[in-house]
Structure 1
Amino acid sequence: MLDESGSAMPPAMMSLRIFAALPLSETVLDQACAEMTGVPGANWRPRENLHITLAYYGELDEPVIEELDLALGKIKLAPFELRLQGAGRFGGGDPSALWLGVEPRPALIDLARRCRKAALSLGIKMETRAYLPHLTLAYLNKDVELSRIQRFEQRLGLFKSKPFTVDRFHLYSSWARKPHTPNLYRIETEYPLIP
């Protein structure tokens, strides 16, 4: 593209919504998807969108994403075992989402802390709320019956998935599709955890 003087213009800088997250094993995805029932008005997440967020970075420009990629690539941590357990909701008396919990493991908390620290070292502003590892199963319409949500929580209160090995994490981008449809998540980079 040329500017008014006929000189070449630099390509437009692109920004993307970015987050770091853990993928799940196929077995655990099967178990989680089997529980997506019993709450009319819940917008259940597509299987390919299920993940455990480590850090949400928001909308970043490409040069910042490249710096973040380098910083995340320096994280050294051994693989560890994890499982989903329990269930809950966000929003209290005005619920907005249903989730499966994640067993609290020091290695998981450490990995999330390092992903956050990588961003802070680059001046990226981060949420201040405490990290609560979870797997979002559904976003809720305003007219969902609270009793259905409570039954969902009771039914899955003692839920435990099969354990799975966390041997990598990903940097994802989030792309809006059509209105009222789930975003498309794309893996931008994979970071292996090495013993």
Structure 2
Amino acid sequence: MDRKAVKVVVAGGFGTGKTTLIGSVSEIQPLTTEEVLTQASVGVDDVTGVEGKANTTVALDFGRITISPDVVLYLFGTPGQNRFWFIWDDLTQGAIGAIVLVDTRRLDTSFPAVDYFERRGIPFVVAVNRFDGQCQYTLNEIRSALEVAASVPLLWCDARDRSSSKQALIGLVRHAMSRMQAS
């Protein structure tokens, strides 16, 4: 039996919860390339709003979910800092789409990821990571701030919660499939 591999990218700014989301849904121990933030990153990595962050992804995160006996979903998480963006082209090659994970405490870190997928025509959804179950903005306010087209799904997510992360993945797969059927 031939297994079909489906590739999904989890992207977003520094500290938005990409590694956490992949870890919450992966059926295998995720591969991470996290390194400790050191003094060398002071002035390079903006930790405003995530001052307690101690580690950061420097290449990618990888996880897997078996959907059925013949379909496997492979998850690739991007690094969030702009000095690692050169990796994104390789990570997104062959992907059916992406989840752009957003932290409204640091919304400006999301613009580059949204722009990246818009410019390349790669289907994506925006998943607003509700840290501690909180968000002071509505999805419409976030859509407006990000200047995301009405055709791009926005949804709530808690990257720590397996069920919530699965719903974000389902939203992406549905969106990507509807775009494929429309073309």
> TM-score, with normalisation over the residues of structure 2?
0.25
Larger helix percent: 2
- Greater gyration radius: 1
Q: Larger relative CO (CA 8 A, sep 6+): 1 or 2?
A: 1
Larger strand percent: 1
